[in-house]
């Protein structure tokens, strides 16, 4: 079942039990994501099918069938139980993108524990804050990250076990540390999977706020119902696809669609742990004949920056569907991908708290470049007045709101009920983003609620200015924020990285200013352009405008733990 040219039909006949029926789940049944992503596929006679193709530095490659991931996740679950890990205790995955991260995720869920994936690039302070808040019981990590864990372990009274997946026995392990080699472990064929129910907790993802502590977003096993169907209908995953989700599982996309949606759909997925370069990525697609590719606007713009010539060096004809997530995808990027790949990137909108795709461009649906698309069937979305939280007419800008109740909606912020409740107003869940709906029902992103620039009473969308900026031939990437102004209260400032061969000087600044003035309006024209070598980004590729804005206004920067180079 796929949305191909029949979005309206899917919308009118939709019920979440479509997903339940395809998965063989009935309300009240046990539902364990670990089982659905491995054992269920094997029970369907697909145990010998490739589940994971992993590639690391130096061309090192590992391959695992569905039977492999079933047995190895059993082994990990059994090992954790042997250490005394109990249902609903938090087990942190602090790993690079190695197979143990993906298979370990399933193993944790199989014993009813809660998986807590964290970016391996986190420093010890960022790691400590999240482990302390979650009262994490065990952490699965690698030798290279062990130093960070050792330096904070004395301040983590709930942490009982540190599991090292690549111990080489050359240096002794310390108290609480134990070695576990997945590939050499006993393959456990029969394993009693913990009987989790729909509302049993599954994953705890931490998301950074503008100020204060990172928030632990708790999801439940029933989230599978949303994640499976959106993977089918938005990413268009089909049985014979070779799929590549470029997101790290430290970010919700890397779990919802880099693990759950892919393996619940029974597809072969690829993981690239060799870092970004246009050549490396195109070579990876060509080598593994990837057909469905889910990536981020930052990566897409980096590929644009590398130019069209490099694309010609590779055979990318295996690609059939491209999707994007992380922040709004500029119209220019959609047009560019159609030109160089013969396929447009389909933008999708959602967040850690929603657990699955909420608004998207669907296969077979006309894409309006720059638009978020339309709500997923079963999702009631509206644009709300920011004061009354009532729906407002088509064409007017306001806050995005979703009616609560979809399967993958977060169930709480960990130990932070007050902040959680504040996200729900007047019967709507409020993500904190502004948008408008056009006459055809397409949603158009404007910006975070606190990103909108009010210059002399006129509202300017940072995203709109950024989209225009990257259409200038010299601009590689841009971020737009407000800066203080005596007359207008605030005006537009742009931070810009230039493509190779262009010079950052006063003449270039004036040229870009006039380009925006002509393209948008004098009000939207940046009053200042600061040329930079790079923009602050999260590891998921999202530009951290709030950091740039805080610098301009002399405010506290807040939590920077998810920054790329933190």
Which CATH number is 471's domain given?
3.30.300.30
Position 439 in a domain: no
Q: Residue 564: its pLDDT value, please?
A: 62
CA–CA separation, 234 vs 217, rounded Å?
A: 23
Q: Are residues 74 and 171 in the same domain?
A: yes
Q: Are residues 11 and 150 in the same domain?
A: yes
* CB distance 551 to 557 below 8 Å: yes
Q: Residue 351: its pLDDT value, please?
A: 93
Q: Are residues 233 and 324 in the same domain?
A: yes
CATH of the domain at 204: 3.40.50.12780
CA–CA separation, 560 vs 416, rounded Å?
A: 20
Q: Are residues 50 and 167 in the same domain?
A: yes
Pairing status of strand 359-360 against strand 114-117: unpaired
Position 62 in a domain: yes
Q: Examine the fold and report which residue of 380, 404, 436 is the final residue of a domain before the chain moves on.
A: 380
Task: Show Cβ contacts of residue 477 under 8 Å, excluding neighbours closer than 6 positions.
Answer: 298, 301, 305, 470, 496, 497, 535, 543
Q: Residue 169: its pLDDT value, please?
A: 74
pTM: 0.85
Q: Are residues 354 and 493 in the same domain?
A: no
Residue ranges making up the domain that contains 471: 450-553
> H helices within 348-469, ranges in order?
417-422, 462-469
pLDDT in tens, the chain (566 residues): 344 457 888 888 899 999 999 999 999 999 999 999 999 999 999 999 999 999 998 889 999 999 999 999 999 999 999 999 999 999 999 999 999 999 999 999 999 999 999 988 887 878 898 999 999 999 999 999 999 999 999 999 999 999 999 987 777 889 999 999 999 999 999 999 999 999 999 999 998 654 457 899 999 999 999 999 999 999 999 999 999 999 999 989 999 999 999 999 999 999 999 888 999 999 999 999 999 999 988 889 889 989 999 999 999 999 999 999 987 888 999 999 999 999 999 999 999 999 999 999 999 899 999 999 999 999 999 999 999 999 999 999 999 999 999 999 999 999 999 999 999 999 999 999 999 999 999 999 988 777 778 776 566 778 888 988 999 999 999 999 999 886 677 899 999 999 999 999 999 999 999 999 888 777 789 999 999 999 998 877 788 888 999 999 888 877 666 666 54
CA–CA separation, 1 vs 304, rounded Å?
A: 33
Q: Are residues 189 and 291 in the same domain?
A: yes
Q: Residue 274: its pLDDT value, please?
A: 87
Q: Are residues 368 and 456 in the same domain?
A: no
Q: Are residues 257 and 144 in the same domain?
A: yes
Position 566 in a domain: no
Position 389 in a domain: no
Q: What does R_g of the chain's alpha carbons equal in angstroms?
A: 23
What total of structural domains would you count in the chain?
A: 2
Q: Residue 458: its pLDDT value, please?
A: 64
* CB distance 163 to 173 below 8 Å: no
Q: Residue 3: its pLDDT value, please?
A: 46
Position 400 in a domain: no
Q: Are residues 367 and 470 in the same domain?
A: no
Q: Examine the fold and report which residue of 324, 355, 380 is the final residue of a domain before the chain moves on.
A: 380
Please give the C-alpha separations between residue 19 and each of 400, 409, 451, in angstroms, as whole numbers. 26, 16, 37
Q: Are residues 287 and 198 in the same domain?
A: yes
356 phi/psi in degrees, rounded to 5: -155, 170
Q: Residue 518: its pLDDT value, please?
A: 81
Please give the C-alpha separations between residue 32 and each of 77, 233, 254, 272, in angstroms, as whole numbers. 13, 22, 18, 27
Position 436 in a domain: no
HSE (CB half, 13 Å, CA atoms) of 63?
A: 7
Q: Are residues 363 and 496 in the same domain?
A: no
Q: Are residues 73 and 216 in the same domain?
A: yes
225 phi/psi in degrees, rounded to 5: -60, -45
Position 415 in a domain: no
Q: Examine the fold and report which residue of 346, 380, 414 is the final residue of a domain before the chain moves on.
A: 380
Position 440 in a domain: no
Q: What share of the chain is helix, strand, coil (3-state, %, to 5)?
A: 30, 25, 45
């Amino acid at each position: 079942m796929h949305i191909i040219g029949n979005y309206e039909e899917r919308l009118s006949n939709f019920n979440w039990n479509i997903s339940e029926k395809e998965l063989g789940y009935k309300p009240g049944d046990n539902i364990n994501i670990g089982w659905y992503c491995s054992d269920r596929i094997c029970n369907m006679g697909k145990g010998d099918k490739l589940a994971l193709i992993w590639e690391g530095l130096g061309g090192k490659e590992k391959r695992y069938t569905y039977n492999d991931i079933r047995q190895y996740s059993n082994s990990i679950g059994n090992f954790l139980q042997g250490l005394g890990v109990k249902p609903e205790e938090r087990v942190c995955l602090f790993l690079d993108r190695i197979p143990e991260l993906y298979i370990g995720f399933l193993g944790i869920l199989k014993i009813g524990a809660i998986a807590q994936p964290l970016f391996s690039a986190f420093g010890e302070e960022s790691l400590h804050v999240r482990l302390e808040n979650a009262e994490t019981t065990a952490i699965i990590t690698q030798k290279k990250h062990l130093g960070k864990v050792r330096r904070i372990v004395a301040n983590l009274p709930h942490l009982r076990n540190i599991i090292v997946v690549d111990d080489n026995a050359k240096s002794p392990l310390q108290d609480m540390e134990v070695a576990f080699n997945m590939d050499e472990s006993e393959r456990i064929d029969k394993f009693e999977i913990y009987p989790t129910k729909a509302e049993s907790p599954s994953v705890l993802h931490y998301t950074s706020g503008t100020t204060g502590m990172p928030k632990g977003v708790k999801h439940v096993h029933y989230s599978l119902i949303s994640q499976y169907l959106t993977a089918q209908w938005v990413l268009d995953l089909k049985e014979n696809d070779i799929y590549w989700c470029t997101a790290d599982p430290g970010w919700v996309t890397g779990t919802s669609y880099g693990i759950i949606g892919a393996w619940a759909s029974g597809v072969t997925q690829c993981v690239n742990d060799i870092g970004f370069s246009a050549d490396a990525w195109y070579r990876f697609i060509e080598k593994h004949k990837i057909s469905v590719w889910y990536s981020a606007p930052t990566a897409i713009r980096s590929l644009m920056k590398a130019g069209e010539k490099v694309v010609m060096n590779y055979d990318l004809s295996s690609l059939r569907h491209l999707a994007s997530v992380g922040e709004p995808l500029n119209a220019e990027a959609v047009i560019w991908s159609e030109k160089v790949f013969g396929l447009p990137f389909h933008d999708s909108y959602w967040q850690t708290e929603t657990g699955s795709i909420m608004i998207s461009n669907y296969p077979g649906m006309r894409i309006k470049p720059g638009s978020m698309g339309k709500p997923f069937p079963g999702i009631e979305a509206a644009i709300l007045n920011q004061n009354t939280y009532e729906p407002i007419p088509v064409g007017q800008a306001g806050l995005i709101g979703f009616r609560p109740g979809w399967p993958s909606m977060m169930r709480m912020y960990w130990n932070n009920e007050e902040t959680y409740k504040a996200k729900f107003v007047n019967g709507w869940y409020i993500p904190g983003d502004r948008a408008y709906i056009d006459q055809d029902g397409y949603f158009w992103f404007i910006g975070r609620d606190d990103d909108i620039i009010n210059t002399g009473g006129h509202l300017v969308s940072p995203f709109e200015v950024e989209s225009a900026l990257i259409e200038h031939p010299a601009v590689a990437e841009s971020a737009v924020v407000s800066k203080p102004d005596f007359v207008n209260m605030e005006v537009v400032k742009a931070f810009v990285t230039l493509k190779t061969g262009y010079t950052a000087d006063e003449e270039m600044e004036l040229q870009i200013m006039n380009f925006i003035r002509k393209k948008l309006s004098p009000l939207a024209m940046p009053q200042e352009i600061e040329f930079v070598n790079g923009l602050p980004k999260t590891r998921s590729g999202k530009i951290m405008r709030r950091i740039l804005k805080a610098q301009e206004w002399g405010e506290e920067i807040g939590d920077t733990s998810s920054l790329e180079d933190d």
